[in-house]
Amino acid sequence: MNKLIIIFLLLISNFSFGQESIIESEIISVKCNESIHSNCFNTRLTKDTIVNHVRVVHFSTTATCCVDFEILSKGTENQIDIELEENGIPCDCICSYDFVIQLKSILNPKAKLSIKNMELKKDIPKLRPLEKRYFVFENDTIGFDDENGIRQGYIVYMRENDLKKNILS
């Protein structure tokens, strides 16, 4: 009889631990940052605090512009998956967003957070460097894009019989 009780308790513990549960959550604020080019923007955790038994998470990511968001959070003991559902008529552009969300039930304060199947980490830079690009014309570097994707240097224009260089401002 004792063996049956132990087996029964083990089965119940296996079903209760490790299964995902829905976490009550809400979006506190969403800020679209149009000044940052979304191609070089990293998805990252900016702040993670617990205040009055509520976990407040600040993170940055990219998503479709011109839409509203709803949040669905699921979690296990050591992992919380955040899903952002886009509502509205989407446009063809991608924007950089700063989100502040609230997780009302704290499973484990040290549980890892993830969004879009990527773990949110604090130690990565806000911008991802882009590949530097340029070409050489008459022994001069022309059409240089720096690591942030910003055009530097000269632009070459074709005229009838020659090329003309203009300085970018």
pLDDT of residue 167: 46
Residues 151 and 77 in one domain: no
Range of the domain at 110: 20-119
Residues 93 and 26 in one domain: yes
Residues 106 and 145 in one domain: no
How buried is residue 139: exposed, middle or buried, by Cβ count under 10 Å (0-12/13-18/19+)? exposed
Residues 92 and 144 in one domain: no
Residue type, position 15, single letter: F
pLDDT-derived band at 169, boundaries 50, 70, 90: very low
Q: Where are the beta strands (DSSP E) in 25-92?
A: 25-33, 44-51, 54-64, 68-75, 79-87
Residues 81 and 139 in one domain: no
Domain-located, residue 61? yes
Tens-digit pLDDT profile for residues 36-86 = 777 778 889 999 998 888 999 999 998 888 889 999 999 888 889 999 999
Residues 73 and 96 in one domain: yes
More confident residue, 76 or 1: 76
The residue with tokens 């976490």 is: 23
What residues are paired with 135 via a beta bridge?
Answer: 142
User: Could you tell me if 38 and 129 are in contact, meaning their C-beta atoms sit under 8 angstroms apart?
Assistant: no
User: Could you tell me if 80 and 124 are in contact, meaning their C-beta atoms sit under 8 angstroms apart?
Assistant: no
Domain-located, residue 4? no
CA–chain centroid gap for 69, Å, is 14
Domain-located, residue 13? no
Domain-located, residue 112? yes
Domain-located, residue 42? yes
Residues 140 and 114 in one domain: no
pLDDT of residue 31: 92
The residue with tokens 């968001």 is: 69
Domain-located, residue 8? no
3: CB partners within 8 A, 6+ apart: none
Residues 97 and 153 in one domain: no
pLDDT-derived band at 152, boundaries 50, 70, 90: low
Residues 94 and 25 in one domain: yes
Rounded to whole angstroms, how far apart are CA atoms 83 and 116?
7
What 3-state DSSP class applies to 2? helix
How many structural domains does the chain have? 2
* Mean local confidence (pLDDT), 6-19: 57
Domain-located, residue 127? no
Residues 103 and 44 in one domain: yes
Domain-located, residue 25? yes
What residues are paired with 47 via a beta bridge?
Answer: 58
Residues 87 and 160 in one domain: no
Tens-digit pLDDT profile for residues 91-137 = 888 888 999 999 987 768 888 999 988 899 988 888 776 665 666 66
